[in-house]
Structure 1
Amino acid sequence: MQKPVLTIFYQFNPWRSSIGGIQTIIRSFLKYAPDSFEIRFVGTTDDPTEPLFTWREANYAGRTLQFMPILTLQDNNHRKRIPVTVRYTAALLRTCLESDFMHFHRLEPTIASKQWQGEKTLFVHNDLKQQAAKQKIPALNHALERYLIQQFDQVLSCHTGSLELYQDRYPNLSDRITYINNSYDDGVFQPAPDRSAHRRVLAQTMNLPEETQFILFAGRLQPQKDPVLLIQAIAALSHPNAHLLLAGDGELAPEVRAEITRLGVPATMLGAQTQTEMLRLYQAASVFVLSSRFEGLPVSVLEALGCGTPIVTTDCGDTPRLLNSKSGVVCQDRAAITIAKALDQVLFNPDHFPVEACVSAAQPYAAQAIVSRVYEDMLWRWKARSRERVPVARSYT
């Protein structure tokens, strides 16, 4: 029997370490794809000898798929003079890769897909209102958005504010725009059997005292995440055994390193980490922290909670709505002292933030269930398409 074809488009290589929640979501869609679909992924390669615009069979997490790199890209964790999105879009314009279903995670590359046939889905990951405030030419971006958004059969947003913005801005598309829970790989990110022992082992590995309490940050070192503010918050801590771990890389790395030195903050910059390494860090950390200016719903938050680690976050994005008093603390402002006090609250009172409460907060966002429902709906629409018009919007919560 013929299988429906899903083609996923994004500017990275799933087999290489790459920082970002979008990459994590895509990996879940590859890993948990049912056998009833043929999966294709259009991405990038870091191997200058690998042919571009050529399909090859590959294996990801035990799942066979077709992979086509259209761009050679070295070190995707730092911004380039010419944005990667622009280069990826230009490459897509050279070909036609239409299929039964197409998933896009950035709007700009869909300039190329405007005339392609097949069902198109756009995933919205960020807070679009905050993102627009940072744009240099917002009118141009809005015009491009209005031109491109009409092509989508489905717009799935994991940020409630962005969902409402799109529904208000495009009422003629309201039946196509819906919410989807962001997700984490619950088959991987689970609590350690003995968190204290796990923490002590990590401290010993890093030549730190066994009583060290780890504060974990994971993400790109870029202005949106405001890691410099985080360093200033760590400098204001009262807890004597706290040590900050920064898992990630980006253009602010030199500035962060300089601020650590200037303030004498107990911190270690780890660079980009693999999934296995991140699991070890989540399981050993006493608290996970976000100092962001704006967010959607970071996958790193869900992974930390899934490992039983409580959260301290600035009041942005959808993270505050999933936390309760037993799984984290939401800072009411972005002052360094406020973040420091919230971190101290967790570090001095670990029994107030039990592992079970954290895992419970993450469970509605388990990837296996969410991804499976998306695929089930796609297969149902594919089978029914020849018989009748089928509405596509559905909330994946």
Structure 2
Amino acid sequence: MRKPVLTIFYQFNPWNTSIGGIQTLIKTFIKYAPNEFEVRLVGTGDENQPTLKWQAAELAGREISFLPLFFLKNDNFRSLIPTTLKYTAALLGRCLSSDFMHFHRLEPSLAAWNWHGEKTLFIHNDIHTQMQAAGDQKAILWRKFPAAYFALESLLVRQFSQILSCNTDAAEFYKQRYPLVQDRVAYIKNSFDNEIFYPLSQAQRQTYRRELALKLGLDEETRFILFAGRLHPQKDPVLLVRGFAALNQPQTHLLIVGDGELATEIRAEIGRLGLSGRVTMLGAVAIEELAKLHRICNIFALSSAYEGLPLVVLEALASGTPVVTTRCGETPKLLAADSGVVCEQRTPECIADALRQIILHPENYPTASCVGTAQPYAARTVIQGFYSKMLSRWELPSNSALS
């Protein structure tokens, strides 16, 4: 029997160190895809890959077919022409019909209007909050043209069999805004790879933490606060740096993992605040290295202006690390009193207070509580269940399979 074909559309090269929860989720979806499926990925390539040609590849131990549409040097930085626009333009005029098609941005689905198969749109942010967020107006280009965005969205959402959001507020927003497709809108759990993100014993944690401190030339009793993500206005890492400065707690060190357009501004702010010896910018790191940091840091901190449900939060919790977050996205609904602290205001002082709360009383945020909070989102359970439902739909007698 022919295998059902899943084609995933997103503007990245999975073999590069690409920063973002969407990229991580796609890789996890591929890793845990059952053998009953043929998996294809339409992304971007590097200078060593021929573009616009399907090629056999391996990702996370899984054989896939990969189609790079164009060469993209670094998807961690925005260019003058938005990558989404380039990606959508490269899809126009093509036919990539599949049994299942997963879109992680709305715009590329413009090219898929006449393609046959089950189409699913994944919503990764609370778009309503995203459009209204204060701050850098360049954070999302559509913020300058909200009416145009929602007009395009109202047209394109009709083609989707499923519209899935990892944010309950966003799911409700779509149901209310588009009543004709409200029965297709649902909440979906984001998921972390539980084979990569897991906790250490307390003794191991302390040993590896001391090793990291000595490697960085710090006191071996240093406590680490970790940020990981794209250095982008959405994540507002500059606010976190200011919050860390306001913390003013001895023997604490901020680790910033990631890259992006705010890197220069962050370095300048670190210098302005006199934090050069207390903040280390590590750049983009491989997921295995990030997992090691999650396992040994004392706190994971996120100062975002808007979110869906950040995978990196689940990864931190699964590693036994409590979370400090601003009140945005799904994270505040997820955290328990013994697995993290929610900042009620997006101010340096509020972030500093939350960090101090965990630094001074780590016993109130035990590893077991953090891991327990993340456990329902483990990939093996969530993603395999998702594929099982896909396969059931494909096997229905009424299914008109592609030949």
TM over 0.5: yes
1:141-193 per-residue CA deviation (whole Å, 9 max, x = no partner) reads 01000110000001111011110010001111111111100111011100123
Match of 1:175, SS state, is helix
Please report how far the alpha carbon of residue 74 of structure 1 lies from its aligned counterpart in structure 2 after TM superposition. 0.3
Report the AA paired with residue 63 of structure 1. Answer: R
Q: Does residue 1:16 correspond to 2:26, yes or no?
A: no
* Equivalent residue number for residue 43 of structure 1: 43
Contact persistence 2:230–2:258 (CA under 8 A): yes
Distance 1:260 1:92 in 2: 42
* Equivalent residue number for residue 363 of structure 1: 375
* Equivalent residue number for residue 147 of structure 2: 139
Please report how far the alpha carbon of residue 284 of structure 1 lies from its aligned counterpart in structure 2 after TM superposition. 1.3
Deviating 4+ runs (over 4 angstroms): none
* Equivalent residue number for residue 331 of structure 1: 343
Report the AA paired with residue 107 of structure 1. Answer: L
Please report how far the alpha carbon of residue 385 of structure 1 lies from its aligned counterpart in structure 2 after TM superposition. 4.7
Report the AA paired with residue 58 of structure 1. Answer: A
Report the AA paired with residue 212 of structure 1. Answer: T
Contact persistence 2:190–2:309 (CA under 8 A): yes
Report the AA paired with residue 249 of structure 1. Answer: D
* Equivalent residue number for residue 67 of structure 1: 66
* Equivalent residue number for residue 137 of structure 2: none
Distance 1:355 1:43 in 2: 37
Report the AA paired with residue 339 of structure 1. Answer: I
Match of 1:150, SS state, is helix
Contact persistence 1:315–1:331 (CA under 8 A): yes
* Equivalent residue number for residue 166 of structure 1: 174
1:265-311 per-residue CA deviation (whole Å, 9 max, x = no partner) reads 21011111110110111011100001111111100000000000000
Please report how far the alpha carbon of residue 386 of structure 1 lies from its aligned counterpart in structure 2 after TM superposition. 2.2
1:108-127 per-residue CA deviation (whole Å, 9 max, x = no partner) reads 00010011000000000101
Please report how far the alpha carbon of residue 367 of structure 1 lies from its aligned counterpart in structure 2 after TM superposition. 1.0
Structure 2 spans left out of the alignment, 5+ residues? 134-142
Please report how far the alpha carbon of residue 227 of structure 1 lies from its aligned counterpart in structure 2 after TM superposition. 1.1
Match of 1:224, SS state, is coil
* Equivalent residue number for residue 394 of structure 1: none
Report the AA paired with residue 10 of structure 1. Answer: Y
Alignment partner of 2:210 out of 186, 190, 200: 200
Q: Does residue 1:216 correspond to 2:215, yes or no?
A: no
Alignment partner of 1:350 out of 355, 362, 378: 362
Alignment partner of 2:321 out of 291, 309, 330: 309
Distance 2:214 2:199 in 1: 20
Please report how far the alpha carbon of residue 94 of structure 1 lies from its aligned counterpart in structure 2 after TM superposition. 3.8
Distance 1:61 1:165 in 2: 35
Please report how far the alpha carbon of residue 212 of structure 1 lies from its aligned counterpart in structure 2 after TM superposition. 0.7
Matched-pair identity in %:
55
TM, length-normalised to structure 1:
0.96
Match of 1:317, SS state, is coil
Please report how far the alpha carbon of residue 130 of structure 1 lies from its aligned counterpart in structure 2 after TM superposition. 1.4
1:65-112 per-residue CA deviation (whole Å, 9 max, x = no partner) reads 111111110011111110110000010114111111000000000010
* Equivalent residue number for residue 138 of structure 2: none
Q: Does residue 1:254 correspond to 2:293, yes or no?
A: no
Alignment partner of 1:182 out of 190, 195, 198: 190
Contact persistence 1:44–1:69 (CA under 8 A): yes
TM, length-normalised to structure 2:
0.94
Report the AA paired with residue 239 of structure 2. Answer: L
1:22-74 per-residue CA deviation (whole Å, 9 max, x = no partner) reads 00110111000000000001011122x42212111111121111111111100
Contact persistence 2:235–2:305 (CA under 8 A): yes
Written as runs of structure 1 = structure 2, the 5 A alignment for 1:23-42 is: 23-42=23-42
Distance 2:247 2:178 in 1: 46
Distance 1:325 1:97 in 2: 47
Structure 1 spans left out of the alignment, 5+ residues? 389-397
Alignment partner of 2:199 out of 169, 191, 210: 191
Written as runs of structure 1 = structure 2, the 5 A alignment for 1:87-106 is: 87-106=86-105
* Equivalent residue number for residue 254 of structure 2: 244
Match of 2:176, SS state, is helix
* Equivalent residue number for residue 150 of structure 1: 158
Inter-CA distance 127–385: structure 2 relative to 1 (3 Å threshold): farther
Q: Does residue 1:227 correspond to 2:227, yes or no?
A: no
Distance 1:133 1:107 in 2: 18
Contact persistence 1:3–1:36 (CA under 8 A): yes
Inter-CA distance 122–202: structure 2 relative to 1 (3 Å threshold): same
Contact persistence 1:192–1:198 (CA under 8 A): no
Report the AA paired with residue 76 of structure 1. Answer: D
Inter-CA distance 335–387: structure 2 relative to 1 (3 Å threshold): closer
Distance 1:209 1:387 in 2: 63
